[in-house]
Amino acid sequence: MTPLKEFCLKYTEPQRLIDKGIYPYYRAIESEQGTVVKIKGKDVLMFGSNSYLGLSNDPRLKEAAKKATDKYGTSCSGSRFLNGTLDAHVQLEEKLAKLVGKEEALCYSTGFQTNLGVVSDLGGREDYVLLDSLDHASIIEGSRLSFSRVLKYAHNDMDALEHKLKICAPESVKLIVTDGVFSMEGDIVKLDRMVELAKKYNASIMVDDAHSIGVLGEQGRGTASHFGLTDDVDLIMGTFSKSFGSLGGFIAADHEIIHYLRNTSRSVMFSASMPAANVAAVSCAIDIMLSEPERIKHLWALTTYARDAFKSVGIDTGHSETPIIPLFVRGDNDKVLTLTRDLLEDGIFVCPILSPAVPKESTLVRFALMATHTFEQVDIAVDKITKAFKKFEII
């Protein structure tokens, strides 16, 4: 056996979970990503998707993607930097910049690549990247590739952030990178206080709006819009795989920052560009979001309804303020996984969140809503989840 195989075989946890029948990952879905999906031939209510506006299976997006494929083909066959820029990319970037209130935008092939390419690129050895302890993994990976010094502060603790800013050299770049909506527990960054600190210490702010666009702000424009602080946030990042029902990501900022990233960010320069089908789907989704405000209104009505229902039966939903509702188990991983398996067998798809991704005392089931869910579907889910939580003596 080669050393490489020996190295891989030392990681035994997945096989242990498979042997116990509670392995929860790579569950194959046999249908489109709607409020009801098909798994092993059975209909299951989907409460694990990030399609907040419910557009992943919208016929208008499908038609836009088909037309773009007919015109441009299935691949750009190269990077944006060389042969892979379409006029459709440029038009989408102009649309995105206008959407979030910035001068320019730059599209990447995925949201992960966006954070990887931006966070790693903005700063040098004398500079600083300041991260919330619960920032997304893509931000963490970007910081690992950065030459800047990385400082982490306690989750959403602005006093802790100020303590870190105090130790930074005044003349250095100080890039604060935060999620707008934190993807596991559904709470919102304290952006108003963060902006005050950024001004005090001459720092810059980058907000990851992956879970915010389509959810927060005027017409779903994101976290900065939600707070009325668009001009005070330097960079706004977003993804297309959530509210916009496609795949890809973008960063928006002023001309100087985007010009720099366009010519130095390795994950855009050395990755194949977004296929035209994805570009067209995103553009169509933006139009729908802006023209159908009732989607976001219904999403928030569902959110309040579901959160109140879970709380009324004694389920701990933490500090969630958004359609991401954590249902805390606060137990060992196997309990969360067994609960998740049993719920799937009962027709409810939710996502287990385990340690070490979260502390052991914070393990949870992640329940996420889409604008296309109905109140009746929420009632069914709450009822079945309540029974499961009682069975496992969580409530």
Residues annotated as part of the active site? 183, 211, 242
Strand partners, 25: none
Query: How far is residue 210 CA from its own chain's centroid?
Result: 4
E strands, the chain, in order? 36-39, 42-46, 104-108, 128-132, 149-153, 174-179, 204-208, 235-239, 249-253, 324-328, 348-349, 351-353, 364-368
Distance, CA of 390 to CA of 388 (rounded, Å) = 5
Q: Which of 138, 114, 136, 110 is nearest to 242 (CA)?
A: 110
Instruction: Transcribe 193-238 into DSSP letters.
Output: HHHHHHHHTT-EEEEE-TTTTTTSSGGG--HHHHHT-GGG-SEEEE
The β-bridge relationship of strands 174-179 and 149-153 is unpaired
What CA–CA distance (Å, rounded) separates 342 from 322? 26
